[in-house]
Structure 1
């Protein structure tokens, strides 16, 4: 018994496993893990469950020699792949966008300095935004303000009216004043400037969002799902101020909480810009509801 076990062990040790094989296994495990996580968080999870049922039925057809069903399944398989790509095109596109946004090289070496220093969010702009949002909240004036980050929002800017002006609380209040030409739709900002108003945003199809939320909140979550932007929402019904980012909605913020969310968009100092590849995210002080 022992010699046989030793022979099997030695034969496995003689497989000549190299470092490239180990790296290949790790890469495949990483890809498979993230594909499973992606499937779990999208509509593809329902497809997987349905496919499992279909696969079980095909096994029964094979066992009982149901040749007609097997012939149909064989010829339908090639068309089924194309159908999956067409039906889940938005999810596949978002998965590729997330892969591009989570670039390991940019997290290790911050070499992307395309945004100039003068284009970063200043304390003055933050103060004007906070002031305008809570004044609109008191007056029950609805508002939707998108702050562009690394991912370009030009395709949504083109749906609105170009403004290209410095941010001020008076300008924001005038834009969202009821029954004015620019009040309907979203304002898109880049740095300290308002680029466009009356913009149309994609609506989120997240079924976990509260049914009490209106179109503004769903649009805010929707644009945060397809970009790295931060969106401020002022509710016309309640006057509450919320923030959407990364597909999550933080509701009922006060002035200090909104200010902290905006300050998080400012570039960190040189002392704090260290390599954080192995460091996890900090907990958000606000709770999403």
Structure 2
């Protein structure tokens, strides 16, 4: 039986090696969890943990019959895990062979970012052509929970089809704003604070006032599609950009949402600054 001091080296170099060893093991498990995140493997993995905990409890409480049964099942369970997780394991090995395993998180974020941009751009283009009024607010640093609570909870994956369907006239959710939180549709039919600024043009309606009102108290980005004209606008960082073409809209949204610096500047812009009361 090896002694404890032969397992762990307490010398400075040994301690450093042990720390690196633990960090590498943690990183490997972290990458495995990122690979299976969002797949059915997550639920199956929870079931495996339940079985392992049950096995420990049978040992602790001396449940010999149940322990014997689990001892027969668990060895076959590992083979079943390999079969069940075969798609995830194959994908991980493919990424490892391509050298992309450790870059997967950044790649996933970029893919998700492009998917979100495509979903919003496609839905806004569809609604603008048909003059379907829409109000879409995107949470950034400032939380929008108090406004989410005023609407109908959804917690849904954001797709262009879902966004379009929400704002179809005479449907239960078309009034109010959709709020996007952590890349998901958190709620629909939400109430936003109306701006009382005297600098707002009289030709702007309730949707624009609500969008400006939200930008006065938060750093949220809000997309507006006018029901009267089909014009597309964005409020963000104290600015209201009106009557944007789809190219200008996508460039502006990409810049304020994801920090891209490339943006077409030939926009029809009405700009206002936040003013303190009094």
TM-score, L = length of structure 2: 0.54
Instruction: Return closer, same or farther for 1:184/1:231 CA change in 2, 3 Å cut-off.
Output: same
The answer to whether 1:246 aligns with 2:237 is yes
Kindly state the Cα deviation for residue 219 of structure 1 after the two structures are TM-superposed.
0.2
- Show structure 1 runs of 4+ deviating over 6 A: 116-121
The answer to whether 1:225 aligns with 2:221 is no
Kindly state the Cα deviation for residue 192 of structure 1 after the two structures are TM-superposed.
2.3
Instruction: Return closer, same or farther for 1:232/1:266 CA change in 2, 3 Å cut-off.
Output: closer
Distance, in Å, in 2 between the alignment partners of 1:190 and 1:284 is 28
Distance, in Å, in 2 between the alignment partners of 1:173 and 1:156 is 21
Kindly state the Cα deviation for residue 286 of structure 1 after the two structures are TM-superposed.
3.3
The answer to whether 1:123 aligns with 2:114 is yes
Distance, in Å, in 2 between the alignment partners of 1:284 and 1:135 is 24
Counterpart position of 2:186: 195
Distance, in Å, in 2 between the alignment partners of 1:173 and 1:132 is 6
Kindly state the Cα deviation for residue 143 of structure 1 after the two structures are TM-superposed.
0.3
Cα RMSD over matched residues? 2.4
Contact kept in structure 1, 2:232 and 2:244, CA below 8 Å: yes
The answer to whether 1:183 aligns with 2:178 is no
Kindly state the Cα deviation for residue 236 of structure 1 after the two structures are TM-superposed.
0.2
Instruction: Return closer, same or farther for 1:284/1:143 CA change in 2, 3 Å cut-off.
Output: same
Report the secondary structure of 1:152's partner residue: coil
Kindly state the Cα deviation for residue 119 of structure 1 after the two structures are TM-superposed.
7.1
Report the secondary structure of 2:216's partner residue: helix
Kindly state the Cα deviation for residue 239 of structure 1 after the two structures are TM-superposed.
0.4
Counterpart position of 1:143: 134
Counterpart position of 2:153: 162
Distance, in Å, in 2 between the alignment partners of 1:211 and 1:243 is 18
The answer to whether 1:288 aligns with 2:273 is no
- CA distances 1:37-56 after superposition (whole Å, capped 9, x unpaired): xxxxxxxxxxxxxxxxxxxx
Distance, in Å, in 1 between the alignment partners of 2:230 and 2:265 is 23
Instruction: Return closer, same or farther for 1:245/1:130 CA change in 2, 3 Å cut-off.
Output: same
Count of residue pairs the alignment pairs up: 163
Q: Which runs of 5+ in 2 are unaligned?
A: 1-104, 271-278
Instruction: Return closer, same or farther for 1:119/1:211 CA change in 2, 3 Å cut-off.
Output: farther
Greater shift after overlay, 189-198 or 170-179? 189-198
**Higher RCO (C-alpha 8 Å, min separation 6):** 1
Report the secondary structure of 1:122's partner residue: helix
Kindly state the Cα deviation for residue 248 of structure 1 after the two structures are TM-superposed.
2.1
Distance, in Å, in 2 between the alignment partners of 1:196 and 1:247 is 24
Kindly state the Cα deviation for residue 131 of structure 1 after the two structures are TM-superposed.
1.0
Kindly state the Cα deviation for residue 195 of structure 1 after the two structures are TM-superposed.
0.6
Distance, in Å, in 2 between the alignment partners of 1:266 and 1:144 is 16
- CA distances 1:99-139 after superposition (whole Å, capped 9, x unpaired): xxxxxxxxxxxxxxxxx976786111111101111211111
Counterpart position of 2:70: none
Instruction: Return closer, same or farther for 1:210/1:126 CA change in 2, 3 Å cut-off.
Output: same
Match of 1:260 among 251, 257, 269: 251
Q: Which runs of 5+ in 1 are unaligned?
A: 1-115, 273-281
